[in-house]
Structure 1
Amino acid sequence: MAAPELWSPRRTAGEVVLGLVLGVMAAGTEELMGSEGARLLAVGAAATLLSLLRRRMPTPVLLVTAVLAPLVSGFAPLLLIVGWSAGRRIVGAGRVMAAFTVAYALFIGTTLLEGWAPSATLTLVLLSTLYFLATTLVPGLASRYWTQRRTLLHALQERNAQLLRERAMVAGQARLMERQRIAQDMHDSLGHQLALISVHTGALEVDPQLTPQQREAVGVLRNASVTAMHELREVVGILRDGVEAPSAPVDDSGRVTRGTAGIEGLVEAARAAGNEVELRRTGDERPLAAAADHAAYRIAQEALTNAYKHAPGARIDVELRYEPDSLVVEIVSGQVDAAARGAVVSGGQGLTGLRERARLVGGIVHAGPASGGGFRVAGMLPYGVVEATPLLAAEDDFHQQSPRARYADGVPVMDWSVTEGLPVRDGQGEHPGGQWAYPGGQLTFPGTEGRSRAGGIAMGCAIALAALLVLGAAGIFGLFFLVGSMDEGMIDPAEYRSVRIGDDEDAVRDRLPPGDSIMTTGLSGKGPKEPEGSECLVLMSSDVGDNMETEPVFRFCFRDGKLIEKKAYEVSR
């Protein structure tokens, strides 16, 4: 009755086991009530079949079960399951109301046909209504509330994910526009100044009045300005396009690209500037991803620049270690006297930028004092491409992410079916939690998700408790009514013996109860044949029978205003 791909083996096994259990329970209950043979098999098979069909055909199964439940005592557990399934699977509130109303009418109608007694109709309807409420309507309402709540939360999840994606797109457009503006400013200002430096140093380099040493120094300045112009052009392209160019081999002018191959050029430039620098390579060289290769170059460049500024004249050791799983770039500068350091200009962002660059390729950077004095910068970079763990902004981390789908298109997606606590990196430690203002209202987030779940559970418990209280009050009323009705249909054997045949009908009826009780339902017509033309009154005895299958009753028959017969016998229910 359903597409195979919609049913996993686990779900199929569960449904089959549930159907078999309900079938066995229904057949076992019928056997306790005295049924046997083919009826037991039919009841068990019917319960199993209705259980398997309840998901695909909720309304027909509900109606069929409501018709058969008064006739089959073992259908009580099935009625619970069918009511729960129908409440959540019938589409539309009007259809649900109509289905349960028709089911109730069929249930009451079958009950009255099974045990019709004009004198106890109201009592029978009341008890049947309480039974239907407890076994069918309350489970159906609870199931529908639970399903609607889950549907609402999933809708909120999808809307939230869409809003986050839209906000990420808007933020991305804003960042792109700002990057383009910065790139334009850098091109217009720095490019012009570097071009002037390159032109003037090129003219100065051919000045015949310079000594060879001065001409060599001016050549270094010109090469540096030309290299700076190339790097500026590359940075401007990255800012505009958001794409970093991969490493390339050495160009015709002798400048190397920014990768591990370019670290040797950095070392040579440092030596030409008068620094004592040693480069070592250990391990089997392996290629790196473009981004990681560029990060290795930037780590070495920044560390050498810091060494020039903070430890001028000190020895610098540069080591590239190719380990089995990563490349380690380590730069250690020697210690110098405090007087030799002097005052330097530093923006304080170099090492921070290195750490972020390494993190984006799955690596790490450490910077701090060396064990023998001086300063040490070390970066560990993986050979392959490793996705960095996203650091979610506080406004994006709802602490309710599903491990199955925590991110959609790079944007965190809220999953209300699974609640987890995820630490937020916002520079201040973990976010203290609370509530964020959000379009359309407020959502509860870190520190409050437990309370949200507890609130949902408490609401569900409150609804269940209210339903139980209503059913309890109705049950108490029905029990009180039932106890009162017992006096309307039961007499003591001594009172039966005190009545004489031939007594006036009105006098006898005044002494006896009217018999309008649910206790006497189904007793008429089960004893000896009634006298012709008589009207009989059947009452129960206050004594118990000899066994559990029969009940003692008393019958009084009247004709022409006189009591013409009284009999005591036992009937089988």
Structure 2
Amino acid sequence: MWTPGRIVGETLLCAVLGLLAAAAEVPAGLLSDAGVVRVVAVGLAAALLSLLRRVLPATVLLITATGMNEFSGLTVLVVVAAWSAGRRIDGVGKAAGTFAAAYALALGLTLLRDPLSLTMTLTFAVPLLLVMIVVPGLISRYWSQRRTLTDILREYNAQLLRERAMIAGQARMRERQRIAQDMHDSLGHHLTLISVHTGALEVDRELTGRQREAVGVLREASVAALHELREVVGLLKDGIESPGTSPTTPAVQAPGEGHATVPSRGVAGIESLVAASRTAGTAVELRHSGEPRPLPPTADHAAYRLAQEGLTNAHKHAPGAAITIELRYEPDALVVEVANGPAPETAETGRSVVSGGQGLTGIRERTRLIGGMVHAGPTADGGFRLAGVLPYASPEGCAPSRPPGDAETTFAGPTGDFREQIPAGPLGEGVPVIDGNGLPKELARAMSRKTKRSGVAIGCGIAALILLLLVVFGVVAAVFLVGETDKAMIEPKQYDAVRVGQPETAVRAKLPRGNSFLAEGLDKGAPPAPMGAACLTLMSTENGSSWSTDPVFRFCFKGGKLIEKKSFEITR
């Protein structure tokens, strides 16, 4: 379907070509009996052919090349038709045949309609028709092929970018699987050992009640760590189960874990974090304000992680200090704040603390992805404060993640996965398209050195040949016109210098012979010549009184003398 701009453009071009064709036929049409009919018919024909040139480019070119000899109004249309045919005719052979036929028809009909000398034909008809028919077609075809190749390159580049993104996604997925496997093999083993040994130590009869309670806290912490490790491994492995496991079997399982209560990983789980810290002997206060509101799964989990990180940092850097956790339900967001006072002087502040410095960075990134913000810094009393603002609604464009415990987490649906377009292979291997196979036919042909060199050579050769022909024809035409002008044209002062009654031989010696094609047809519409006189008609070097008239000088001889000289204008 054409766009509104294309429709307007085609309509204007059709109207302009029709008006130009009709205007060019006005002089010839007024001299004929059916002048008005001819003018209207040529204008409508030009407009119709202009509309059909996109559908039937070869036919329109042949029709206009054939008819422009009889109807001069089609001269402008033939250039437009040649341009359109160069773009739309498929195949080099078909295009070359069509343009050769159009050129031959135009040149042959020109010779048949107005047979001139061979020199005149080679000088004017050949280069003029070459410029009107062949040159527009060549330029249009080159421009169209260049635009097509540019579009193909642009599409191919977009395809490469998409496939590069898919390859990077596959590499990330394989790396996540490798990390998940390492975590499963190393951390799972050590956490399982901790759980087993603390479970055995908990039932030791030599322990006091206080010690047994502390060991129980350690065992519950190891079990909770195993649960979290299982969640992280499941996320990293993108829903792909490890060998020997099933969707219902956890990847990491501690002895007796199946009977333990799995703590919540949302706002509700903050209570368990507070209880665990209190059991360890830390004074922790939990405050609530505002009316509780449901949170998206990602924000709910971020609130839990933020409270967990705040408690962890307080335990590590300010052991024994009082901790306050506050949950404030604001109108548009939940504010989670964890603040601790300065560490007591009796605490062992100089002990070694394992800290990678990544906890706060991870919390900030997790909160940023859901549209929230985090603030962390010291307080006025020497303590530390960690606060996060978590919006109730996920930001636009961010798909909510699955809550912990869902069946599976994947990056794409089970059907229509774009990653299936590329077969999986070892990391670093290229895919067929990247390696250069399977290129589009036009692009492969354009990228071939042999084809490129031959195409450039052919194009340069054709362009050089056309340029050489135009230069040669231009030089020949200039020389030929100078010679023909000397044979058929005189200046007004030469006309004034001749006197009636002078001998014919003396007058002819001063004037050109008039044997030129420029002097042909000058007697049409001229005043009657004297009876029995032989007249010589020449053109004037001056311009006529209008664009359609030419000044003419006529000399008539009889009995060896000049008996009459007359100056008048004729209509070409």
Fold conserved between structures, TM > 0.5: yes
How much does 1:483 deviate? 4.5
Residue in structure 2 matching 1:269, options 276, 280, 283: 276
Cα deviation, 1:345-386, whole Å, max 9, x if unaligned, reads 212222333344445x45354343267563334254562474
Query: d(CA) in 2 for partners of 1:29 and 1:99?
Result: 26
How much does 1:259 deviate? 3.0
Aligned AA (1:96): A
Size of the alignment, in residue pairs?
486
Q: Are 2:264 and 1:257 aligned?
A: yes
**Does the Cα contact within 8 Å between 1:363 and 1:382 map onto a contact in 2?**
no
Q: Are 2:49 and 1:42 aligned?
A: no
Residue in structure 2 matching 1:376, options 362, 381, 386: 386
**Does the Cα contact within 8 Å between 1:362 and 1:382 map onto a contact in 2?**
no
Q: Residues 422-433 of structure 1: matches in 2 within 5 Å?
A: none
Q: Are 2:144 and 1:147 aligned?
A: yes
**Does the Cα contact within 8 Å between 1:296 and 1:381 map onto a contact in 2?**
no
Match of 1:23 in 2: 18
**Does the Cα contact within 8 Å between 2:214 and 2:279 map onto a contact in 1?**
no
SS at match of 2:187: helix
Aligned AA (1:346): S
The answer for unaligned runs of 5 or more in structure 2 is 242-246, 248-257, 400-416, 420-433, 437-459
User: Measured at CA, do residues 547 and 357 of structure 1 come closer, stay the same or move farther in structure 2, by a change above 3 Å?
Assistant: closer
How much does 1:45 deviate? 1.7
Match of 1:433 in 2: none
Query: d(CA) in 2 for partners of 1:225 and 1:269?
Result: 12
Match of 2:116 in 1: 118
How much does 1:195 deviate? 1.9
How much does 1:514 deviate? 4.5
SS at match of 1:285: coil
Q: Are 2:342 and 1:347 aligned?
A: no
Q: Are 2:51 and 1:52 aligned?
A: yes
Match of 2:485 in 1: 486
Query: d(CA) in 2 for partners of 1:177 and 1:127?
Result: 73
Aligned AA (1:184): Q
Q: Residues 265-344 of structure 1: matches in 2 within 5 Å?
A: 265-273=272-280, 274-280=282-288, 282=290, 285-288=293-296, 290-312=297-319, 313-319=321-327, 321=329, 323-324=331-332, 327-336=333-342, 342=350, 343-344=352-353
Measured on the aligned residues, the alpha-carbon RMSD in Å equals 4.8
Aligned AA (2:232): V
How much does 1:544 deviate? 5.1
**Does the Cα contact within 8 Å between 2:290 and 2:329 map onto a contact in 1?**
yes
Q: Are 2:88 and 1:89 aligned?
A: yes
**Does the Cα contact within 8 Å between 1:258 and 1:297 map onto a contact in 2?**
yes
**Does the Cα contact within 8 Å between 1:502 and 1:563 map onto a contact in 2?**
yes
Cα deviation, 1:265-288, whole Å, max 9, x if unaligned, reads 333333433142434354561341
How much does 1:476 deviate? 6.7
Query: d(CA) in 1 for partners of 2:93 and 2:171?
Result: 49
How much does 1:537 deviate? 6.7
User: Measured at CA, do residues 337 and 256 of structure 1 come closer, stay the same or move farther in structure 2, by a change above 3 Å?
Assistant: closer
How much does 1:84 deviate? 3.0
Query: d(CA) in 2 for partners of 1:266 and 1:558?
Result: 131
Query: d(CA) in 1 for partners of 2:80 and 2:101?
Result: 18
How much does 1:252 deviate? 7.7
Residue in structure 1 matching 2:191, options 191, 194, 203: 194
Q: Are 2:109 and 1:98 aligned?
A: no
Cα deviation, 1:543-570, whole Å, max 9, x if unaligned, reads 55565544344578999x9999998765
Query: d(CA) in 2 for partners of 1:571 and 1:166?
Result: 75
Q: Residues 554-569 of structure 1: matches in 2 within 5 Å?
A: none
**Does the Cα contact within 8 Å between 2:367 and 2:374 map onto a contact in 1?**
no
Query: d(CA) in 2 for partners of 1:296 and 1:134?
Result: 78
Query: d(CA) in 2 for partners of 1:535 and 1:267?
Result: 131
How much does 1:117 deviate? 5.0
SS at match of 2:204: coil
How much does 1:151 deviate? 1.8
User: Measured at CA, do residues 564 and 267 of structure 1 come closer, stay the same or move farther in structure 2, by a change above 3 Å?
Assistant: farther
Moved more, 66-75 or 222-231: 66-75
SS at match of 2:54: coil
**Does the Cα contact within 8 Å between 2:286 and 2:325 map onto a contact in 1?**
yes
Larger CA Rg, structure 1 vs 2: 2
How much does 1:221 deviate? 1.2
Aligned AA (1:347): G
User: Measured at CA, do residues 520 and 371 of structure 1 come closer, stay the same or move farther in structure 2, by a change above 3 Å?
Assistant: farther
Aligned AA (1:302): E
Aligned AA (2:361): T
Query: d(CA) in 1 for partners of 2:341 and 2:378?
Result: 9
Cα deviation, 1:161-203, whole Å, max 9, x if unaligned, reads 3334444444444433333333333223222222222222222
Query: d(CA) in 2 for partners of 1:75 and 1:338?
Result: 102
**Does the Cα contact within 8 Å between 1:259 and 1:296 map onto a contact in 2?**
yes
How much does 1:54 deviate? 1.9
Cα deviation, 1:287-322, whole Å, max 9, x if unaligned, reads 41x444434433333343233323432433343545
SS at match of 1:210: coil
Match of 2:442 in 1: none
**Does the Cα contact within 8 Å between 2:557 and 2:563 map onto a contact in 1?**
yes
Match of 2:179 in 1: 182
User: Measured at CA, do residues 88 and 522 of structure 1 come closer, stay the same or move farther in structure 2, by a change above 3 Å?
Assistant: farther
TM-score (structure 1 length as normaliser): 0.68
**Does the Cα contact within 8 Å between 2:227 and 2:262 map onto a contact in 1?**
no
User: Measured at CA, do residues 381 and 470 of structure 1 come closer, stay the same or move farther in structure 2, by a change above 3 Å?
Assistant: farther
User: Measured at CA, do residues 26 and 409 of structure 1 come closer, stay the same or move farther in structure 2, by a change above 3 Å?
Assistant: farther
User: Measured at CA, do residues 469 and 354 of structure 1 come closer, stay the same or move farther in structure 2, by a change above 3 Å?
Assistant: farther
SS at match of 1:37: helix
TM-score (structure 2 length as normaliser): 0.68
SS at match of 1:302: helix
SS at match of 2:356: coil
SS at match of 1:487: helix
Q: Residues 442-481 of structure 1: matches in 2 within 5 Å?
A: 477=475, 478=477, 481=480
Query: d(CA) in 2 for partners of 1:283 and 1:472?
Result: 89
How much does 1:488 deviate? 2.4
Query: d(CA) in 2 for partners of 1:383 and 1:513?
Result: 101
**Does the Cα contact within 8 Å between 1:307 and 1:316 map onto a contact in 2?**
no
Cα deviation, 1:471-517, whole Å, max 9, x if unaligned, reads 9967974556535432222235756966989968x995995335334
**Does the Cα contact within 8 Å between 1:117 and 1:522 map onto a contact in 2?**
no
**Does the Cα contact within 8 Å between 1:317 and 1:331 map onto a contact in 2?**
yes
Query: d(CA) in 2 for partners of 1:268 and 1:32?
Result: 107
How much does 1:58 deviate? 1.7
**Does the Cα contact within 8 Å between 1:553 and 1:568 map onto a contact in 2?**
yes
The answer for unaligned runs of 5 or more in structure 1 is 1-5, 246-250, 390-407, 411-437, 441-462
How much does 1:231 deviate? 1.7
